[in-house]
Amino acid sequence: MSKNLSPDVSECLELLETMHVIRYAEEQLGEDFAAGKLPGGVHLSVGQEAVAAGICAHLTDRDQVSSNHRGHGHFLAKGGEPRHLIAEIYGKQEGCCRGMGGSLHVADYSKGIIGANGVVGAGIPVATGAALANLMDDDGSMTVVFFGDGASNQGVLQESMNFAALWKLPLLYVCENNQFGQFSPTATVTAGVISDRAKAFGIPVEVVDGNDVRAVWQTMARATDHIRSGNGPMFVEADTYRIRNHFEREHLIVQTPYRSQEEVEKMRRERDPIKMLQEWLKAEDLADNETLQAIDEQAKTLVKEAVAFGDAGTPPPLDVGLKYQFAGTYN
Amino acid sequence: MARLRLIKAINEAIREEMERDEKVFVLGEDVEASIFGDLRGLFEIFGKGRVRNTPISENTLTGMTVGAAACGYRPVLHIMFANFLFTGMDGIANQMAKARLMSGGQIELPITIIASYGGGRANAAQHSDTPYSAFMNLGGVHLVVPSNPADAKGLLKSAIRCNDPVLYFEPAGRGGEMGDVPDEEYLTPIGKAAVVREGGDLTLISMGTTMRMTLQAADRLAEQGLECEVVDVRTLAPLDEDTICAAAARTGRVVIVDESRERASAASQIAAVIAERSFEQLKAPIKRVTALNAGLPLAPASEQYLLPSVDKVMAAATEISKNVRVSE
Ligand SMILES: Cc1ncc(C[n+]2csc(CCOP(=O)(O)OP(=O)(O)O)c2C)c(N)n1
């Protein structure tokens, strides 16, 4: 239980780099979409990077992460390679899923990234099964499931929490409350406080400022302690804000505004998790401009290389769907 | 050889596979009590770590099997009645049928779901469906439908060892058929139909619960001088097109008997395959004997009215045999 209560400087700088990588990768994908370069759509998590970074900082390859349609950040924070992410979203066979899944399904099972998911809420049962595997393995591994405030209205969340509480599954629920489910403000479709639902199952809850990466990190330090000690699940509601559109196609299909531009700009100015960490590091005299600049550049370079890798990739063979559908093997 | 009820053969298959591989575990509602009898005694042998009694949460259960399988386990989910597959549909249709493909083949998903199916027992419409044909269209799951105890055991052992998801349709109303089961270890291959009776005048094709009436019809037709070749399809996906088409071609007259509803039934797919591949050898239209296009009522006679029967098979066979010369 001798876990640090706060991330030290080097941990903070790692968190910063992770958030930068996610941000640069996603901004690139936003540009690519606008330029008509992407075969499919993308849901970007700009403004929410602190949740993925702060949570995944405490996980190893033996732990599983199950995620949702806004899953690039979870993939990268959990150790997925930026070049495998970009190539996948470009539909190239060099991608993490060989171009079969794309943005909605990025996964790298060798790193415990057991899949983004195109069906809202569907990552929750999958995570519940993974956590059952963790329990049966009895090796201290755990599973994290990321989902949105919208997904919390799916029945499977309540089913899963019942399972997890009953069986003491090593499962962390992370609800990223980004204030919207598609084009509906959360309060218009969701009754009560989401994390209160976990309390009904006797699951311990923490509500955290999801834009404060240090706070998320600290919450996760407590959560891993609780879960890895065999005490069963925990529920974290991370309060955050989606800066960009629901998906990049939004402006083409949504005519009625569901939030004000001023609100978005204010959040961008005042609640950007990257800026918040940078400013804190400077105010505390823990990092100077030069250090911060170097980390920024490093992340930018990594993403540039990833894009070059994706550009140089090749489309998969035409009949590949038939090939990957079944393992076709018997034990 | 031991003479066993189908339900007991299934029980043996699960026990043997759990003994063989510690990654195999069973989960489902009331699996401890085993109301169907197919899991009886397993809890006592393997304990609650491997025979996991669950809440009534089908959609989570089907999805959980994907997570557990992706992490190296071989879950066997007992869903009770096949109608409850619909309750757990997302986990089946969107997750287990797609996760391997979408990951570019990163994972194997050795999942077995056991679903007891079929009408004729006054269970009314939500506990009597034969829904396998709906699942034939999913693409990413194998479907097996045994009709006798030997295949029930051999196919279930193959399903549990298969590294892809398998839906196992259990024709086990009232314990299912009696039959001989070999004493030694064996597997019945997934994807292989069996010719269970030879005869040169007509080809009868069936599977699962309707095999019994199909064989009875073959007996009665033989009394009338018509010899039937009978095929037990055993696996609906992948379909053993070669065996089916060869049997169809040998007589040129085909009746397919299937308990799913007529529209987009398993029989429809089998008929289409035969028509495409063996048209030249056909001497008469292919006939399908299926359930009619409605849910099954409680009232027993009304239920029977909708279901296939020996008489309906006889009528179909007779209709396409008008110009068959009965050999002396
Ligand atoms: C089962 C299902 N219903 C609807 C959708 C369409 N859809 C995609 S994202 C989304 C909103 C999800 O909201 P939330 O869970 O809060 O996540 P966020 O998009 O805010 O990150 C919806 C409705 C879907 N993909 N799956």
The verdict on B111 and B205 lying in the same domain is no
Is there a single domain that holds both residue B176 and residue B208? no
String of DSSP letters for B177-202: -EEEE-SS---PPTT--EEEE--SSE
Query: Looking at the domain assignment, is residue B187 inside a domain?
Result: no
B5, B74, B78, B127: which one is catalytic? B127
Residue that is last in its domain, among B158, B181, B204: B181
Residue-level pLDDT at B326: 60
What mean pLDDT is predicted for residues A276-301? Answer: 98
Ligand 1 centre to CA of A293 (Å) is 36
What is the CA(A181)–ligand 1 centre distance, in A? Answer: 6
Same domain? B54 vs B172 = yes
Ligand 1: centre distance to CA B187 (Å) = 44
Task: Kindly report the average pLDDT of chain B as a whole number.
Answer: 96
pLDDT tens digits along B251-275: 999 999 999 999 999 999 999 999 9
Phi, psi of A148 (to 5 degrees): -95, 175
Residues B116 and B210 in one domain: no
Residue B175: pLDDT band (50, 70, 90) is confident
- Is residue B159 domain-shared with residue B201, that is, in the same domain? no
Inside any domain, residue B23: yes
pTM for the model stands at 0.96
Both B170 and B226 in one domain: the answer is no
Q: Confirm whether B127 is a catalytic residue.
A: yes
Q: Which residues of A touch B103 (CB under 8 A)?
A: 97, 100-101, 105, 107, 109, 115, 324
* Domain co-membership, B199 together with B237: yes
Residues B34, B37, B42, B45, Cα dihedral to 10°:
110
The pLDDT value given to residue B328: 45
B-chain residues within 8 Å CB-CB of A128?
60, 63-64, 67
- Of the partner residues B55, B102, B164, the one whose CB lies closest to the CB of residue A159: B55
Name the pLDDT band for A2 (thresholds 50, 70, 90).
Answer: very low
What is the pLDDT, as a whole number, of residue B325? 65
Q: B326 in a domain, yes or no?
A: no
Print the domain residue range for B259: 194-321
Q: For the residues A115-119, what does the mean pLDDT come to?
A: 98
- The model's confidence at residue B174, banded by pLDDT at 50, 70 and 90, is confident
pLDDT in tens, B192-248: 999 999 999 999 999 999 999 999 999 999 999 999 999 999 999 999 999 999 999
Residue B188 counted as domain residue? no
Interchain CB distance below 8 Å, A100 and B103: yes
Domains and CATH numbers, chain A: 9-310 (3.40.50.970)
Residues B19 and B114 in one domain: yes
pLDDT for A1 beyond 50: no
B233 domain residue, yes or no: yes
> In angstroms, what CA-CA distances link B116 with A39, B38, B174, B266?
42, 10, 11, 17
For B209-218, the pLDDT digits (tens) are 999 999 999 9
Burial of B192 (0-12, 13-18, 19+ CB in 10 A): middle
Query: For residue B132, which of B120, B123, B141 has the smallest C-alpha distance?
Result: B141
Q: What's the CATH number where B226 sits?
A: 3.40.50.920
Report the number of distinct structural domains present in chain B: 2
- Interchain CB distance below 8 Å, B63 and A156: yes
Q: Given B71, B158, B162, which is nearest A130 (Cβ)?
A: B71
DSSP symbol at B173: G
Residue A329 with chain B: CB contacts under 8 Å: 108, 163
Pair B203, B147 in one domain? no
Chain A interface disruption, residue of B87, B102, B142, most A CBs within 10 A: B102
Q: Are residues B164 and B235 in the same domain?
A: no
DSSP β-bridge partners for residue B257: B289
Q: Regarding beta strands A234-239 and A205-209, do their DSSP bridges make them parallel or antiparallel, or are they unpaired?
A: parallel
Interface of A with B in 149-178 (CB under 8 A): 155-156, 159-160, 162-163, 166
The pLDDT mean for chain A works out to: 96
Boundary residue ending a domain (B155, B181, B207)? B181
Residue of the CA atom closest to atom 22 of ligand 1: A182
pLDDT at residue number B35: 86
Residue B25 lies in a domain: yes
B140 shares its domain with B282? no
Nearest chain A residue (CA) to B56? A159
**Phi, psi of A185, rounded to the nearest 5 degrees:** -55, 140
Q: Are B220 and B93 members of one domain?
A: no
What's the pLDDT tens digit per position in A71-94?
999 999 999 999 999 999 999 999
Whether residue B145 lies inside any domain: the answer is yes
Q: Which of A52-61, B165-174, B194-203 has the lowest mean pLDDT?
A: B165-174
The pLDDT assigned to B301 comes to 97
- Whether residue B154 is contained in a domain is answered as yes
Determine which of A77-81, A86-90, A252-256, B186-190 has the lowest per-residue pLDDT on average.
A252-256
| Yes or no, beta carbons of A126 and B55 under 8 Å apart | no
CATH assignment of the domain containing B146: 3.40.50.970
> Of the residues B181, B213, B232, which one is the last residue of a structural domain?
B181
